[in-house]
Amino acid sequence: MNNSKTIKQGITWQALESVYYFALNFLLILIVARYIDAGMYGTYTTLFVVVVFLSEITDFGFKNIIIRQQYTEEKIYVVYILLLISACLILLLYELTVSFFWDRYQLALGSILYAQTFGILIPLLAVNNFLTNVYRKDLRFKRVAIVRSLSYSITFVTTIGLTALYRDKWGLLIGLTAGEIIRLLTFRTGLDWQKSKAGLNQLNQYLNEFRNSAGLYISHLLGYMSRNIDYLLIAALLSVEAVGVYALAYKIMSAPVRQIGGIINKIMFPIYGREKEMATITEMFCFSIRTIAFYSSIVFFILASISQNLIDLLFTSEWKDTGSVLAIMSMAGIFLIIHNATEPLLKITVSQKTLVFRQMFYLVVIVACVTAGAMFDLIWACVGFLAALFLSFVLSVKISFDSIGADFRPTSTRMIEYLLLGVIFYFVNKAVLLFGAQFSESLVIPFILLLDMGLLAAVLKIYRRRNETGDRSIFIPGFL
Q: Who's near 201: CB < 8 A, 6+ residues apart?
A: none
Domain range summary for the chain, segments of one domain joined by +: 1-212, 220-480
pLDDT at 369: 96
pLDDT at 93: 92
How many CA atoms are closer than 13 Å to the CA of 246, on its beta-carbon side? 29
**Helices 121-137, 170-189: inter-axial angle, 10-degree rounding:** 40
Q: Who's near 310: CB < 8 A, 6+ residues apart?
A: 252, 303, 323, 326, 441, 445
pLDDT at 207: 67
Gap between the Cα atoms of 139 and 157, Å rounded: 30
pLDDT tens over the chain, length 480 residues: 455 566 666 667 777 787 788 788 888 888 888 888 888 888 898 899 999 999 988 877 767 676 666 666 677 777 788 888 889 999 999 988 887 776 655 555 567 888 889 999 999 999 888 888 888 777 777 788 888 889 999 999 999 999 988 888 899 999 999 999 998 888 877 666 655 555 555 666 666 666 666 666 777 788 788 888 999 899 889 988 899 999 999 988 887 776 665 666 666 666 666 666 777 778 878 888 888 888 889 999 999 999 999 998 888 888 888 999 999 999 999 999 888 888 878 877 878 788 888 888 989 999 999 999 999 999 999 999 999 999 999 999 999 898 888 888 888 888 898 999 999 999 999 999 998 888 888 889 999 999 999 999 999 888 877 766 655 444 444 433
pLDDT at 367: 95
pTM: 0.79
pLDDT at 452: 93
pLDDT at 213: 66
Contact yes or no for 349/276 (Cβ under 8 A): no
pLDDT at 151: 92
